[in-house]
Structure 1
Amino acid sequence: MKLPTRDAISLKCSKSKCDFDLGSVTGLWILVESASRLFKWCLVMSDNSQKKVIVGMSGGVDSSVSAYLLKQQGYQVEGLFMKNWEEDDNEEYCTAAEDLADAQAVCDKLGIHLHTINFAAEYWDNVFEYFLAEYKAGRTPNPDILCNKEIKFKAFLEFADEVLDADYIAMGHYVRRSFPENGEKPQMLRGLDGNKDQSYFLYTLSHEQIARSLFPVGDLEKPEVRRIAEEQGLITAKKKDSTGICFIGERKFTEFLGKYLPAQPGNIETPEGEVIGQHQGLMYHTLGQRKGLHIGGRKGGGGNEDPWFVGEKDLKRNVLIAVQGKDHPMLKSEGLLASQLHWVDREPIRDVMKCTVKTRYRQEDIPCTIIPIDDENIKVIFDEPQIAVTPGQSAVFYKDDVCLGGGIIEQRIKYSQA
């Protein structure tokens, strides 16, 4: 086991005596400080050695480094690989076998045991059926958020707790925890790496779940995570990050969704009612979308050559409304209505509150005002109109770095130029 050292101290030891090259009062102070830190470090290591952590091993670099860091901190570390999807086991899009092999290789390298568990049934019932129902209703859901809620921090936590006797679980998410000194409930903070922060996807966690969860890479930036993996010889060091919805993989979204929901083609119209094209199904489009309309090059009224965007979905008529220009008023929203609320501290917001909100991942924070309607519904007014606020997506709220919670966007409040 390597102990921390300080270059300013020269320690010369023999069997008979140890000579400390202090040099000055400063040297003595450094020695005392180093000894104090070493003592505290040993206490932490001793305390952690009594704690068992089950790490969600995905076969990626973030979970790999998480397991390594926890082992370095003295925890009893074991891995657990989840399989959440079985529909496409024999197709080229499924990477489960490769991911499991990588997870096993990392665990072998670190000298930790890897368990496996199949949550495919739970995933289908609690995530995928909701995903299909939302698309069928013309909305755009985010299944990754629901997967975190129902699988990674519920089914996984329950299995780790009840079967593997874990004190904590750990994931490779880029978020941090905070424990206020006044004894208040633990909080979830954004990850240190602003480009990788994943608090948007974890807003449904409760303070109880946060207290039981460790996020070792939350205090690191992604390049540092890869550097650690490479230094430790982990097979995942240069593995490409997964992108998109996990069960769709790299295949075309329309191809996948068409396997489960019948498409209903219809007209694409301008706000004035002129038919300018055909869509293959409203479920394939989302508000603010530009690509995939297949009406590029078509001029609007007065020879307008601005690009076309999805401005609205008329579910009753099965019509897609397209508008020109990213600043078209139909694309803007003054606010939103949200339901299915979840607050990290489990306390509903009952007073008007200023904060910031994200209505999609990687979006810049939007200053806003939350106006409670009741414990299950809120109205949110933006300080400035926003583009492409999409029903079915999540609105997630923040105070500085603290993630407060969020809810599902039920309706956007359309922009009024009056």
Structure 2
Amino acid sequence: MTKRVILGMSGGVDSSVCALLLKEKEYDVISLFMKNWDEKDEDGVCTATEDASDARRVANQLGIPFYTVNFEKEYWDTVFTYFLDEYKKGRTPNPDVMCNQEIKFNAFLDYALKLDADYIAMGHYAQVEKRDGKYYLLRGEDNNKDQSYFLARIGQRALSKTIFPVGHLDKKSVRELAEMHNLYTAKKKDSTGICFIGERNFDEFLDRYLLTKEGDIIDVDGNKIGKHTGLIHYTLGQRRGIGIGGIGTGEPWFVVGKDLKKNILYVAQGENHPALFAKSLVGESPSWILEEAPEFPLKCTAKFRYRQADIPVTVNMLDDGNLHIAFDNPVKAVTPGQQAVLYQDEVCLGGSIIKSIEPMEKKYLYLNN
């Protein structure tokens, strides 16, 4: 009996090639475009409308049904609200991680199952492998495009029902397949940035939803050296856009901390300043792919941001259920609010949200805790 697959089509080349590959394998494919955000860009164009149109063109080319589904309320309640709340806490969130957890592999999956789907499919560069009755999340074959980092909070229910048709391919091969079959999106540029912000000015977007207040910029030696435009506009490790060039030694300045109560932005000069480096972190809300914690202490590797090289770490669970992740060597610009994702070789174990960091030198503890 032919298996039914509901494919999440975004209007990009990756999901277009997914549709092609699924059809070639003779699945009963239905394409579904998720409308998660309704807003026009600075030119008055609704990019979701354009993307949906592109997805429909490809579906028509391939002769597969195309529909749209509206998840705007779910997205606002579970992703956008989380995004704003994290900024209010002075952290730097990763909404793509939450979108995968709450929308693509939860709300979308539920919707697909109501359509009698056997599987859902997505255009992520990642792989699923079944071993001894459990579903493992593996890195994508293309190391430069691997998206397992964004999927580390996906559990067994979703993985057991998910196909990643391009996970075993590199981006070049995906483009070539699209061009070979004259798919409408073959030469379409990859989308960049956060989906609901797109190409807009990020600071202006935040100012529309959150109150900001100017405050002092103080260096780690206690000197007041400038004014910031609002703490939400800055993230740990940031170099550009601080507005204090030409002061001190001439080396670049970096954001190294925030004090929300006093509305202070802390900075340090020099790309190797010790205040930029941490030796461990505490991660909250741990989520495990196998839905059970591994044995501790756990020696593995971690990524604290997308496309970062793997960092050797030792992981332990604290009494409150949070994770303590110690680094073999100090790591630069580890940022609260981002996700710490753990790996054993090619297998993604899961992840936790970075709550706090332990600086390389104790005298800098005041900066972010």
Q: Under TM normalisation by the shorter chain, which class is it? A: over 0.9
Aligned mates of 1:65, 1:213 — CA distance in 2: 16
How far did residue 88 of structure 1 move?
3.6
The one of 25, 43, 54 equivalent to 1:102 is 54
Matches within 5 A, 1:36-115: 50-88=2-40, 92=44, 94-115=46-67
Deviation at 1:184, TM superposition (A): 3.8
> What residue in structure 2 maps to residue 127 of structure 1?
79
Q: Which has the larger radius of gyration?
A: 1
Q: Which runs of 4+ in 1 moved over 2 A?
A: 87-94
TM-score (norm 2): 0.96
Task: Report if the CA contact (8 A) 2:40-2:47 is conserved.
Answer: no
Give the conservation status (yes or no) of the 8 Å contact 1:350–1:372: no
Which shows bigger deviation, 375-384 or 87-96?
Answer: 87-96
Aligned positions, number: 363
- In the TM superposition, what is the alpha-carbon distance from 1:179 to its structure 2 partner? 1.5
Deviation at 1:177, TM superposition (A): 1.1
- Relative distance call for 1:93 and 1:382 in structure 2 (3 A) is farther
Structure 1 residue 350: deviation in Å? Answer: 4.5
Find 2:165's aligned residue among 201, 211, 216.
Answer: 216
Q: Aligned residues: percent identity? A: 54
278, 281, 286: which is aligned to 1:333?
278
- Residues 112-140 of structure 1: CA deviation (Å, up to 9, x unaligned): 00011110000000000110011011010
Distance 1:89 1:395 in 2: 32
Q: Would the aligned equivalents of 1:340 and 1:408 in 2 still touch at CA under 8 Å? A: yes
Answering whether residue 287 of structure 2 is matched by residue 342 of structure 1, we say: yes
Q: 1:378 to 1:226 in 2, by over 3 A?
A: same
For residues 244 and 268 of structure 2, the distance between their equivalents in structure 1, rounded to whole angstroms, comes to 11
Aligned partners of 1:354, 1:371: CA distance in 2, in Å?
A: 9
Q: Partners of 1:159 and 1:289 in 2: how far apart?
A: 40
SS in 2 for 1:286: coil
Aligned to 1:156: 108
Give 1:255 deviation, angstroms. Answer: 0.7
| In 1, Cα distance between equivalents of 2:304 and 2:70 | 32
Q: What is residue 123 of structure 2 aligned with on the other side?
A: 172
Mapped pair 1:238 → 2:163: no
> What residue identity is the alignment partner of 1:170?
A
Cα RMSD (Å)? 1.4
Which residue number in structure 1 is paired with residue 318 of structure 2? 373
Q: Distance in 1 between matches of 2:362 and 2:62?
A: 61
1:139 aligns with 91
* In 2: Cα distance, 1:130 partner to 1:88 partner: 22
SS in 2 for 1:135: helix
Deviation at 1:378, TM superposition (A): 1.0
**Residue of structure 2 equivalent to 1:267:** 216
Looking at structure 1, the residues matched to 307 and 284 of structure 2 have their Cα atoms a distance apart, in angstroms, of: 22
Contact 2:39/2:46 (CA < 8 Å) preserved in 1?
no
Deviation (angstroms), 1:165: 1.0
1:251 aligns with 2:182: no
For the pair 1:281 / 2:226, whether they are aligned, the reply is no
Structure 1 counterpart of 2:366: none
Q: Distance in 2 between matches of 1:85 and 1:133?
A: 18
Contact 1:349 1:375 in 2 (8 A): no
* Shift of residue 417, structure 1, vs aligned partner: 7.6
**1:413 counterpart = 2:358:** yes
Are the counterparts in 2 of residues 337 and 378 from structure 1 also a CA contact under 8 Å?
yes
How big is the shift at 1:90? 8.9
Higher relative contact order (CA 8 A, sep 6+): 2
1:52-75 alpha-carbon deviations (Å, 9 max, x no partner): 000001000000000100110111
2:312 is paired with a residue of what secondary structure? Answer: strand
Contact 1:52 1:168 in 2 (8 A): yes
Structure 1, unaligned runs of 5 or more: 1-48
CA contact (8 A) 2:125 2:139 kept: yes
Cα 1:266/1:89, change in 2 over 3 Å: closer
Deviation at 1:262, TM superposition (A): 1.1
